[in-house]
Structure 1
Amino acid sequence: MEEERGVVLATERYGSAECWKYLGKDGVMERRRDGSEGESRGNSVVGVFKAFSSSLSGTLATQASLKGVGVGNQEATVAAATITWLLRDGTGMLGRILFAWQKGTKLDSEAKKWRLFADVLNDTAMFMEILAPYFPAFFTLIVCTAGIFKSIVGVAGGATRAALTVHQARRDNMADISAKDGSQETLVNLAGLLISLVLIPLVTDNPVLTLSLFFLFTILHLFANYKAVRSVVMETFNEARLSIMLQQYLGDRRILSPPEANQREPVFFEFRKTVPIRLGVRLQEVVQSPEELNLALKNNNMPFLLGVRNGSVCVCLGPEASIHDEIRAMCQAVWLSSMLTPTSSHWQMVHESHKVMDTIFNPFLKGVEAAGWDMKRTLLDWDEWRVEWKTKSS
């Protein structure tokens, strides 16, 4: 078959879009599209459906909210509608501040999870706004709660979009990517607006049709967003991807490629009980006495300390630690987290983790670099504490 088509002389690709092959046969060179790139075009279609469905769902929610605050009702007062709207906006602002303070550091390291979480929460908020007019006694409470949800969506969605834009800007062209992403979303929202002009007269005073269309658009939106998040392949380590890589390597010494590890990475929050890992903590959260400091330094010549405190694996980082040191510390913490039992001696397991890493980490690191992972930076959730400690000899 290849003889009939000709010999492949070259291939070319425009960014992550379609791929082309140059075939040579009988002294003639022919350019043909490579059919293996259908997935990229499919992802673009998925993105369009995601924004389009969200736009239509938002129209239905806005229409219900306006009806709830009194638009079209001659008995409703301007003051009551204004107070309700101000309470909605005020609680939303408060929710935005509290969420950014509480979860801001997680949005980089778990961008996929928070991106999908934002869309689920946004659809939940719109569903509450649609239902609110049918519960007039609780209308203000419902729309204020929906406002808090939407404020969280604004923080999580905007922050994760920025994180994913950094990932997509392979030529350091963040401004270009942001501008084109915004243009694409504007175009899709414009199409949604035109469809909304047709839908609004149909759904007004028809709650069954309103809810039916909302659930249809919501299902399309969430499915498209799930597929879009799943299609993202990030070559930098966060806790989930590094844990997947290490567990596979410990099992059969196989190094996963970035697409393989990303495909296994969970995109929904998991509620199973695991030993949490805290990175970049204060020294007192690892050791609380000179004796414990000596225990932490035993068999350890690395610029970090590990310990177990209050059911968590805690890592204290020195100021001279490199990216490779951070990755090793995280690998060690993952191993320790998986091996801890209620009856095990914590310091004995810490000492054992140093021995395990001395044996496996360098081969693991070489394999990871050869597999195409980006080792210049990480998305590990390090806090800002950096500690210098005295060794036993000094």
Structure 2
Amino acid sequence: MQHHHRQWRRLVPTTLILIICYQDCHALASSSPKQVISRRNDGRSKSFSFDEPNNKRVDNDSEMKFQLSQVGRDLIRPSVALGHVQAAVRSTFLPSIPSSSSSNILRSSGYLQYILLDNIQDLCTSLRSVLATQRILEGVGVGRADATALSATLNFLIRDGCGMLASLLFTSYAASSFRRNVKRWKYFADVMVDIGITLEIVAPCVLSSPALKGWFLPLICLANVCKALCGVAAGACSGAFQLYWSNNLIGTQDGISEISAKNGAQRTVMGGVGLVMAGLLAKCLGSGHVSMVVWVGLYCALTSVHLVANWWSLKLVALDWLNSWRLHFIVDQLLRSVNETNTDHVVVSNPMELSRIEPLLFLPELKRRKLCPIEMGVSFNRFARMSHHTSTSLQSVLSQKQKQNYILSVGHAGRKRVKQKRRVLVAFSPECSNKDVAKAYLHACIVGHELASTSKEQRNDVEEIEIVKEVEVRAENKLTQLFPLFEMSASNAGWNLDRTEISNQGYEICYE
């Protein structure tokens, strides 16, 4: 009995081991792939089946010819040919996305809508440019017996020279501010090209009046100046949009070259379509069978479509970094939420929500006038002249720069310190990061809100300085509590504070 018991004890582990090994072998056998699918980024795919004996490497010419004939027969099939055409079109015009659901990504990201609107506005520009060229040629005397080639050449030389000079001056003035307001500058470029084309079309009309005949050359020069401004602004902003789509579609900045190349291919096709349509349009309008009312109405319709398409295409671009307007909006949301709900959990708008309401025109923002003006990046000379600090207290203010990388104070414009002339001055150190800039702006807005809550009674200079000092202390205490909340809320909403860029006067203070 004892002997049988020992054999049973030895048999049980052996049986369990055999069962486990059988299950592992069965799992390995069942998990072996029967088909492998290879997908390319442009949508093409190839399948390999382990069950088919024909999936062998081609070793001789006869088998190669047989397979080539098979490919030829496949191309004759409508479905297969259509698939090859779709893949070719996709690889030429759309970016390569390393995902099986690339179509959904292109649609959900807004890229397809963006390129559709962008190509529509480009087509409108091509059509109107041909009409404008026709009008300019008529204005310089093409087709008139009294016109000379020399006068036409001089007109074009003066016009082009004005455009070159304008592009240089505009680059010197606005080059540093393009990225801060990239969407506004892009729409500025679209408005400028519309103004330029309109001036080119209107310019020949003054030749019919002897009193206005001398305005033809200034008008075409001004038109070329507008086009030059458009070229500078649009060229400066195009890289930012290509970088945005590269990050959103491909996930890295490495795809910017492909995005740029595909964008060029799209514009080439739309340019060809625009040339054909513009030629037909010019022939139709130049035949004399179309009234001036129809001609003007068609031009106004194309201009309106151009502006609307650009407007909606820019609304689809949700940049994740803060410029002056976005930062002011987020800070205002934060301060209002804290004052109304008094909670530590604040939700601010995300990039897509702000992209729909962000202004695209350089217009004065009346909402900000409720607070005192904020001057960022001022020189220390201006800081010392306008602030309430004495020469002795300025030394202690400079010590703050070591821990905050910026200094802040309330200043007054003019000799008399009155409430109506208050402003918040912020000076940066060379070590100030983009996140420090966002913190400094939050600090300045807190000071502005605290100043707005003070009494409106007129005071003398001594009382005004005392109130300003109290406000600065309260704002410093609030900043310690609110900046971590601001940082967390902005990060949760998808904002990248490390890329903050706001408008400032460009000064940095340092010791020597």
TM-score by length of 1: 0.83
> 1:151–1:36: structure 2 CA closer, same or farther, 3 Å change rule?
closer
Contact preservation (8 Å) 1:59, 1:196:
yes
The residue number in structure 1 matching 2:376 is 279
Q: More helix by proportion, 1 or 2? A: 2
**Matched residue of 2:491: which SS?**
helix
* CA deviation map 1:328-361 (0-9, x unaligned): 0122234445665696755554444323322211
Partner residue of 2:117?
A: 46
Q: Which among 246, 267, 275 is matched to residue 185 of structure 1? A: 267
* Residue 304 (1) aligns with residue 389 (2): no
CA 1:381–1:16 in 2, change beyond 3 Å: closer, same or farther?
A: farther
Kindly provide the amino acid, as one letter, of the partner of residue 316 in structure 2. Answer: S
| Structure 1, gaps ≥5 residues long | 1-12, 22-30
Specify the code of the residue in structure 2 equivalent to 1:62.
T
1:298 deviation in Å? 9.2
Q: CA deviation at 1:107?
A: 1.1
Q: How much does 1:320 deviate?
A: 2.2
3-state SS of the aligned residue for 1:196?
helix
Aligned Cα RMSD in Å?
3.1
Asked if the contact 1:295/1:347 (under 8 Å) is kept, the reply is: no
Cα shift at 1:291: 4.5
2:321 maps to which residue? Answer: 236
Give the aligned partner of residue 363 of structure 2.
Answer: 270
Q: Once the 2 structures are TM-superposed, how far is the Cα of residue 367 of structure 1 from its aligned partner?
A: 1.9
The 2-side partners of 1:150 and 1:44 are apart by 22
Aligned counterpart, 2:236? 159
Give how far 1:237 is off. Answer: 0.8
Q: 2:444 aligns with which of 333, 353, 357?
A: 333
Deviates more, 1:320-329 or 1:114-123: 320-329
1:53/1:218 contact within 8 Å kept = yes
Which position in structure 2 is the counterpart of 1:260? 353
1:371 is displaced (CA, Å) by: 2.2
Larger Rg: 2
2:108, 2:244 → 1: CA distance?
20
Percent of aligned positions that are identical: 27
The yes-or-no answer on 1:174 pairing with 2:256 is: yes
What is the DSSP-based 3-state SS (H/G/I as helix, E as strand, rest coil) of the residue aligned with 1:316? strand
AA in 1 matched with 2:170? F
**Does 86-95 or 302-311 show the bigger shift?**
302-311
Q: Tell me, in whole angstroms, the C-alpha distance in 2 between the residues paired with 1:298 and 1:169.
A: 43
Q: Describe the shift of the 1:183–1:334 C-alpha distance in structure 2 as closer, same or farther (beyond 3 A).
A: farther
Q: Which moved more, 1:250-259 or 1:335-344?
A: 335-344
Per the alignment, residue 81 of structure 1 pairs with: 152
Ranges in structure 2 where 5+ consecutive residues have no aligned partner: 1-40, 43-94, 208-212, 338-345, 414-420, 459-463
Q: Distance in 1 between matches of 2:187 and 2:103?
A: 37
Letter in 1 for 2:443: Q
Q: Comparing 272-281 with 110-119, which one deviates more in the overlay?
A: 272-281
| Cα pair 1:305 1:317 within 8 Å, conserved | yes
| Alignment-derived partner of residue 298 in structure 2 | 213
Query: Which segment is superposed worse, 76-85 or 226-235?
Result: 76-85
Counterpart CA distance in 1 for 2:448 and 2:217 is: 45
Give per-residue Cα distances to partners, 1:51-98, cap 9 Å, x unaligned.
111111111111111111111222112222122111111111221122
How many Å separate the matches in 1 of 2:332 and 2:356? 15
Structure 1 position 176, deviation (Å): 1.6
Deviates more, 1:327-336 or 1:49-58: 327-336
Q: Find out whether 1:376 has 2:498 as its counterpart.
A: yes
* Matched residue type, 2:495: W
Question: Number of residues paired by the alignment?
Answer: 369
Distance 2:424 2:354 in 1: 23
Partner residue in 2 for 1:290: 391
1:132 to 203, 212, 216: 203
CA distance in 2, matches of 1:75, 1:140: 17
The answer on 1:388 being equivalent to 2:510 is: yes
* C-alpha distance in 2 between matches for 1:266 and 1:42: 20
User: 33-42 or 219-228, which moves further after superposition?
Assistant: 33-42
Q: Which amino acid aligns with 2:300?
A: F
Contact 2:376/2:425 (CA < 8 Å) preserved in 1?
Answer: yes
In 2, the alpha carbon distance for the partners of 1:183 and 1:264 equals 31
Aligned-partner Cα distance in 1 for 2:179–2:164: 22
The question of whether the paired residues in 2 share the 8 Å contact of 1:313 and 1:337 is answered with yes
Q: Give the TM-score taking structure 2 as reference length.
A: 0.65
Task: Give the Å deviation of 1:127.
Answer: 0.7
